[in-house]
Structure 1
Amino acid sequence: MRRAVSILATACVLGLTATACSDGTAGGDSAAAPQGKVDPTASLKGVKLTMWTAQNSVAQPKQAIEAFEKATGAKVTTEVIPDPYESNVPTKLASGVKPDLMFWQPTGSTLPFVQPAKNLLPLDNEDWVSKLGKTEQGLGQVDGHRYAAIVTSPAVLGVYYNKDVFKKAGITTMPTSYDDMLADAAKIKAKTDAAPFFEVGGDKWPLQWQVQLQMTDLPQSFWDNLNKNKDSWTNKTIVDAITKYKTKVLDGGLAQKNYKTATFVDQGKAIMDGSAAMAVNVTALQSEIQATSSTAEMDKKLGWFPIANSAAKAEYSPDQTNGVVAFNTGDTKRQNAARQFLSFWLGQNYPDYLKANKLVSVEPSVANPAGLPQTALLQSKALATAAGVFQVKALTAPDMHLALADMIYGKKTPKQVAQAAQDQFEQVLKARGVSGF
Structure 2
Amino acid sequence: MNIKNIGEYHDLYLKTDVLLLADVFETFRKKWITNYSLDPANYYTLPGLSWQSALKMTGVRLELLTDPTMWLFFEQSIRGGLTMVSCRHAKANNPYLSNYDPALPTSYLMYVDANNLYGLSMSMPLAVGKFQWLSEEEINDFNVLNVSNNADIGYVIECDLDYPDNLHDLHNDFPLAVEKGVITNEMLSPHSRHLYEQANDDGKEYQPSTKLLATLKDKKHYILHYVNLKLYLKLGLVLKKIHNIVSFEQRPWLKQYIDFNTEMRKKATSNFEQKLFKNGNNAIFGKSMESLRKHINFSLCHRWDKFQKLTAKSSFKSFKIFNDHLCGVLQTKTKIFFNKPIYLGQMILDLSKAHMVDYYYNHMKKLYKENVTLCYTDTDSFIMHVRTDDIYRDMSLNSELYDFSNYPADHPLYTKDRKSIIGLFKDECKSIQMVEYISD
Q: Which TM-score band (shorter chain)?
A: under 0.3
The normalised TM-score by structure 2 is: 0.25
The structure with the larger Rg is 2
Higher strand share: 2
